[in-house]
């Protein structure tokens, strides 16, 4: 607290302090990073990069990257916006579209940053509870609103809607912007990018941090109608014209161009996820069906916080959320096969597990 701070920031807490430990020999399954390195083409692009160029500012429009994304997703370049991680793209989105007299609608369990942006930008939010099976309660998104946002697949639950279900929501809500945050879509869900030319109010946001193994480069993007993209450019250009550095632009292009590597890595993660699900279930865990690179799971006898602490003492980090309703769950990122084997072996050593 400080008398100098504005009211909007008095109650902000830093995001997951301690979730990025400095030590080695840790099995890090707590922030949904990819266990595999980026494509070899990314390393090649970095080696070939002419460092003399670093004295110049980067391309403020990131036009080569936008063109690459446009070609990949079969849209026009003016339908693509890029930013410094999808968190920044989301921040611009909230600023550009959701500061409305009517409230933003979002699911009750969802990505925690949405509430942070609502606080920062003084946006009123109505939280709509998930169904008992953790899916979005589509029937409940009916009230007049200043926009709708949800993650698909959802975080931290891992559950995904089909495109048909998303279309139901879009057909009912035509007057305000509907944002689908697809940070985890490549691990088994279907992208709504296919729908952007049909629904001018649909904005789809994706990231290079998960399926493309580039969390360290901080690249995210949005795809939608050119009018929505222009709105985002307005916000960006009013306070940071150079969101992406040169290396971020070059490596993101290389990552998109190596589609084969991307498919192999995501397939491997899906396979390991399904193996881990079976293992956890055999140890008495309830595992929510996941379309992501993480599992949301709980155990009948062991409290989530207790199990997280136990794993931590064995140098395995997983994520626990203390909020009521989901405080018995853990969110476990899918790592390599050997990391997941180590996780299962460790859980088997917990005194309350009967295997
Ligand atoms: N959306 C969701 C649902 C996420 O879980 C995350 C990662 N924590 C992000 C967006 C932000 O990802 P990034 O800024 O690394 O692109």
Q: How far is it, in rounded angstroms, from Cα 64 to Cα 250?
A: 9
Indicate the CATH number for domain 52-258. Answer: 3.40.640.10
Report the pLDDT value the prediction gives residue 137, as an integer from 0 to 100: 95
Q: Is the pLDDT of residue 55 over 60?
A: yes
Q: Is the pLDDT of residue 16 over 70?
A: no
Report how far ligand 1's centroid is from the alpha carbon of 284 (Å).
Answer: 30
Higher pLDDT, 315 or 22: 315
Report the pLDDT value the prediction gives residue 14, as an integer from 0 to 100: 67
Model pLDDT for residues 251-261, shown as the tens digit of each residue: 999 999 999 99
Residue for token pair 């993480």: 294
231 burial class (0-12, 13-18, 19+ CB within 10 angstroms)?
A: buried
pLDDT band at residue 18 using 50, 70 and 90 as cut-offs: low
Report the pLDDT value the prediction gives residue 21, as an integer from 0 to 100: 74
Spell out the domain ranges in the chain.
7-37+260-348, 52-258
Report the pLDDT value the prediction gives residue 141, as an integer from 0 to 100: 96
Q: How far is it, in rounded angstroms, from Cα 33 to Cα 265?
A: 12
Of all protein residues, the one whose alpha carbon is nearest to atom 7 of ligand 1 is 183
The domain defined by 7-37+260-348 carries CATH number 3.90.1150.10 = yes
Closest ligand 1 atom to residue 90 Cα is 10
Ligand 1 binding pocket, CB closer than 6 Å: 85-87, 111, 151, 155, 181, 183, 207, 209, 215, 220
Q: How far is it, in rounded angstroms, from Cα 85 to Cα 15?
A: 15
Report the pLDDT value the prediction gives residue 355, as an integer from 0 to 100: 64
Q: Is the pLDDT of residue 17 over 60?
A: no
Q: What is the pTM of this model?
A: 0.96
Could you give phi then psi for residue 288, rounded to 5 degrees?
-70, 135
ipTM beyond cut 0.95: yes
Q: How far is it, in rounded angstroms, from Cα 112 to Cα 91?
A: 13
Residue for token pair 């997951």: 16
Q: How far is it, in rounded angstroms, from Cα 190 to Cα 222?
A: 16
Report the pLDDT value the prediction gives residue 15, as an integer from 0 to 100: 61
Report how far ligand 1's centroid is from the alpha carbon of 353 (Å).
Answer: 33
Q: Is the pLDDT of residue 11 over 90?
A: no
Q: How far is it, in rounded angstroms, from Cα 130 to Cα 123?
A: 21
Question: Comparing C-alpha atoms, which of 54, 70, 118, 68 is closest to residue 91?
Answer: 118
Report the pLDDT value the prediction gives residue 323, as an integer from 0 to 100: 85
Of all protein residues, the one whose alpha carbon is nearest to atom 1 of ligand 1 is 183
Could you give phi then psi for residue 81, rounded to 5 degrees?
-125, 140
Report the pLDDT value the prediction gives residue 242, as an integer from 0 to 100: 82
Closest ligand 1 atom to residue 209 Cα is 15
């Amino acid at each position: 607290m400080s008398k100098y701070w504005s009211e909007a920031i008095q109650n902000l807490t830093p995001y997951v302090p301690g979730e990025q430990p400095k030590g080695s020999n840790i099995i890090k399954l707590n922030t949904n990073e990819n266990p595999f390195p980026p494509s070899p083409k990314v390393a090649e692009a970095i080696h070939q990069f002419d460092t003399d160029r670093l004295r110049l500012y980067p391309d403020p429009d990131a036009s080569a990257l936008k063109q690459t994304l446009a070609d990949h997703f079969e849209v026009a370049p003016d339908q693509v916006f890029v930013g410094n991680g999808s968190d920044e793209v989301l921040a611009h989105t909230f600023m550009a579209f959701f500061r409305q007299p009517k409230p933003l609608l979002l699911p009750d369990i969802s990505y925690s940053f949405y509430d942070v942006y609502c606080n920062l930008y003084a946006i009123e939010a109505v939280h709509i509870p998930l169904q008992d099976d953790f899916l979005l309660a589509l029937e409940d998104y009916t009230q007049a609103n200043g926009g709708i946002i949800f993650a698909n697949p959802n975080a931290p639950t891992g559950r995904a809607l089909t495109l048909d279900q998303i279309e139901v929501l879009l057909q009912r809500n035509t007057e305000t912007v509907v944002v689908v945050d697809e940070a985890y879509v490549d691990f088994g869900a279907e992208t709504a990018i296919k729908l952007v030319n049909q629904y001018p109010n649909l904005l789809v946001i994706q990231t290079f941090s998960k399926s493309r193994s580039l969390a360290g480069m901080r690249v995210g993007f949005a795809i939608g109608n050119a009018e929505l993209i222009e709105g985002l450019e307005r916000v960006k250009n009013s306070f940071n014209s150079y969101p992406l550095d040169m290396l971020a632009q070059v490596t993101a292009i290389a990552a998109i161009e190596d589609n084969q590597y991307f498919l192999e890595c995501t397939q491997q993660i899906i396979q390991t996820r399904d193996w881990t699900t079976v293992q956890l279930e055999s140890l008495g865990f309830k595992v929510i069906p996941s379309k992501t690179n993480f599992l949301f799971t709980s155990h009948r006898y062991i409290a989530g916080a207790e199990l997280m602490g136990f794993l931590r003492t064995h140098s395995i980090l997983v994520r626990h959320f203390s909020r009521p309703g989901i405080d018995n769950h853990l969110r476990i990122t899918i790592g390599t096969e050997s990391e997941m084997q180590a996780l299962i072996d460790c859980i088997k050593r917990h005194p309350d597990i009967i295997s």
